[in-house]
A and B are shown apart, each in its own frame.
Chain A
Amino acid sequence: MHLLKLTPGRRVHDWPEIDDDTALSPQTHGLVSLDRLERDGEAVVRAFGAVGVRVAGDTEPARLAPWVDRLHLVEIAFPDFKDGRGFTLAMRLRKDLGYRGEVRAAGPLLPDQARFLARCGFDSLAVSSNREPVARAALARFEVPMQSTALDQVRADRPATALERRHDAKFAVA
């Protein structure tokens, strides 16, 4: 597995995964399940310099609400590349919960989906190395989106849409 950066500005790195039965020990980064976070919350936050949590694509955002300020990574695991709930979960995390940390996509996604992921607020994608070139190509395609997303107003690092380029002087190409 390889980590592909989807948003230019953000630093992404590998997070050691701590499974639910392993004792917590101090470390700079640690990735736990949402169940573990809910069980051992404060202890997790104390043990890790930066806390990451892995959630399923259909997780109720409300479960993440109490933690958003203390999380540095939310890894959204898609059960299937056809299950689009993960896209909406990332949107909700950002726009409804105001989460600012890294959002990572994992699970059996297609490299072809990289651009959509980026536009829904994902910063990184776990992809097998042989599929990375396709993901990179996908990321570069469709440079000017036709629509705004619900996220656009809370994001500076996004491409200007066709509508904005047509009608808004500040996006006009010089």
Chain B
Amino acid sequence: MYRYDEYDHALVRDRIAEFRDQVTRRLSGELSEDEFKPLRLMNGLYLQLHAYMLRVAIPYGTLSSAQMRRLARIARLYDKGYAHFTTRQNVQYNWPALKDVPDILAELADVEMHAIQTSGNCIRNVTSDQFAGAAADEIADPRPYAELIRQWSMLHPEFSYLPRKFKVAVVASANDRAAVRLHDVGLILHDDAEHGRGFEVIVGGGMGRSPFVGPTIRRHLPEGQLLRYLDAILRTYNWFGRRDNKYKARIKILVHEMGAEAFARAVEAEFERLGDANRDIDRLAETEMARLQAFFAAPAFEAVAAEPAHVLRAYDQDTGFRLWMDHNVMSHRQPGYASAVISLKPHGGIPGDATAEQMEAVADLADRFDAAGEIRVTHEQNLVLPHVKKADLPVLFAALARHGLATANAGLVTDIIACPGLDYCALANARSIPLAQKIAARFDDLQRLADIGEVKIKISGCINACGHHHAGHIGILGVDKKGDEAYQLLLGGSGAEDASLAQIVGPGFSEDGIVDAVATVIDTYLSLREGGERFLDTYRRLGADPFKEALYAPA
């Protein structure tokens, strides 16, 4: 993985000194809260319902075991002994004290981490495929590109006071595991005989109040021109993006109001203006790419049996292990290796939460079993050990189980994404986490979950959509119904390569009603599915009608 050099270290060090000074000026009253707010946000510090929340960047979701141990230490020393992994591959602490934050940042800097631009109206942490470097279907490892963008976006002098936040995601495979079409900018690496290696550039996707699947504005951008093109997109957005209404300030609204073609023309014109004078930038970016690629070289894989006999035996004999293998173990491009998804969705738990002990256990297991000693954070709020020898899977499974980390539900009904909701968030209409727990309780049978197959449930406590309900196969949205918590049900969304937005099926439900409604939707699917159809396939084949009928027909 990437290692800081003197320049990265100096930047993070300066940033901490700067923030320490800003906190002091805030505490002395020299800075007003209005002035301090954007500054603290750009360092990942939010004010929530009960306390400050610090969001720490995990660039493109890659962590070393040492970094994970440090995150655990911070949870123990400065928080209540746990941390929360987010849908943007970041980690959050819900209870830090303002005066401690500079010290926490210093703890992070020791292990080459920071909280820079994890919030605020700036370019946020770049996200990518959690199986980067391991997936059999990738053209190249997308992380060197993501790292290039991370560095370019760090304290960008022109693009740190944008109309609104700006999120970039990069993938390098036909299977989109980073929801690139739902980002401000999505990049898909292609490699074909005609054009060579380059990016498809998607702009203006997003969820929130006005969800859009982003249009492609450039089919092929040579990889060396990436930074120059991003510069053109950001300048166009910074200049033309709306600043009169924060709900209309994201780039998706600009792209929608201008039209994708007009927006693309404006970007291309700016890109051309940047042309001649900036060839040097392209050349340097290409040289830097070569440096970055070396950091992400494949670990030393051993030549091992593709299908070890003792693993096959365990698979046949142990139902628990079999279910975990079927759902949480992903194929790897190296024979005899696999990627193991560590579920942070134990039934009854809080989606995405991990205790300090669990984080340390994962760090130890990464050292023991991962060929690179690496851990990944997924946008579905789980963890991954990317490079595990298949022969080690039974031992790994048993070790994970001892720490409550072996729930065999990756991609299944109870692998729920839920935003913080009314338990933490000042904007919430309704609770999200307890609802996720109730749904998990209703489906608390791993065999049944396996029979149902892939279903992505996503819950947001309000229209801001932090729980990505628009991208859920089943989406749930908390609404305020005359002071009561209520929920709307949406069906048919996807954040994958076949991106689509979930649609509201009909009138909303109470908290108990929505759990029944999810069960009804699943039962309806089971009665109608054909062959190996996933829930989403059945829904797309038949449309909403049979589900509406089952949900709303008079008993």
Contact = CB atoms under 8 A, between A and B. Distances in A.
Given A152-B281, A154-B277, A146 B152 contact: yes
Contact of A84 (B10, B11, B160, B273): B160
Contacts of A81: 35, 38, 161
B157 interface: yes
A85 B152 contact: no
5 contacts: A91-B158, A120-B157, A134-B25, A150-B274, A167-B287
B151 A137 contact: no
Interface stretch (B231-239, B258-266, B337-345, B375-383): B231-239
A146 B39 contact: no
B288 A88 contact: no
A81 B284 CA distance: 32
A163 B285 contact: yes
A161 to B, nearest CB: 8
Contacts of A143: 10, 14
Nearest to B42: A112
Contacts of A95: 273-274, 277
Interface string A75-106: 00000011111011001000110000000000
B155 to A, nearest CB: 6
B278 interface: yes
A interface SS class: helix
A115 B280 CA distance: 23
Contact of B151 (A138, A162, A168): A162
Q: Which of B11, B152, B161, B291 counts the most chain A CB atoms within 10 A?
A: B161
Contacts of A148: 227, 278, 280-281, 284
A150 B231 contact: yes
Contacts of A115: 157
Contacts of A82: 38, 121, 161
A142 B274 CA distance: 25
Given A84-B162, A84-B238, A112-B39, 10 more contacts: A87-B157, A87-B159, A88-B158, A110-B35, A138-B18, A146-B154, A150-B158, A153-B277, A163-B285, A166-B291
A127 to B, nearest CB: 14
Interface string B18-37: 10011001000000000100
A141 interface: yes
Interface of B: 5, 7-8, 10-11, 14-15, 17-18, 21-22, 25, 35, 38-39, 121, 151-163, 227, 231, 235, 238-239, 243, 273-274, 277-278, 280-281, 284-285, 287-288, 291
A106 to B, nearest CB: 16
A5 interface: no
Nearest to A131: B30
B39 A142 contact: no
Given A84-B158, A95-B277, A166-B288, A150 B38 contact: no
B5 A147 contact: no
A95 B231 CA distance: 13
Q: Ordered nearest first, which 6 A-B pairs have the shortest CB separation? A: A84-B161, A119-B157, A162-B7, A116-B157, A153-B277, A167-B287
A146 B281 contact: no
B57 to A, nearest CB: 14
B38 to A, nearest CB: 6
A153 B273 CA distance: 12
Contacts of B151: 146-147, 162
A145 interface: yes
A165 B21 contact: no
Contacts of B160: 84, 116
B157 A149 contact: yes
A16 B87 CA distance: 54
Given A82-B121, A150-B278, A144 B158 contact: no
Given A85-B239, A95-B277, A142 B158 contact: no
A104 B18 CA distance: 24
A147 B238 contact: no
Nearest to A137: B21
A75 to B, nearest CB: 19
A165 B288 CA distance: 11
Interface in A106-131: 110, 112, 115-120
A83 B238 CA distance: 9
B336 to A, nearest CB: 37
Nearest to B274: A150
Q: Which of A112, A134, A153, A163 counts the most chain B CB atoms within 10 A?
A: A163
A13 B472 CA distance: 59
A145 B155 CA distance: 8
Contacts of B157: 87, 115-120, 145, 149
Contacts of A154: 277
A43 to B, nearest CB: 32
A96 B276 CA distance: 12
A149 B11 contact: no
A127 B291 CA distance: 41
B460 to A, nearest CB: 26
Given A153-B280, A166-B5, A147 B227 contact: yes
Contacts of B274: 95, 150
Contacts of B278: 148, 150, 152-153
B8 to A, nearest CB: 8
B253 to A, nearest CB: 16
Contacts of A138: 18
A167 B39 contact: no
A163 B282 CA distance: 11
Given A83-B161, A88-B239, A150-B278, A141 B17 contact: yes
Given A116-B157, A165-B7, A110 B284 contact: no
Contacts of A167: 284, 287-288, 291
Contact of B235 (A110, A144, A150, A165): A150
B87 to A, nearest CB: 26
B39 A110 contact: yes
A150 B285 CA distance: 14
Contact of B238 (A88, A117, A134, A141): A88
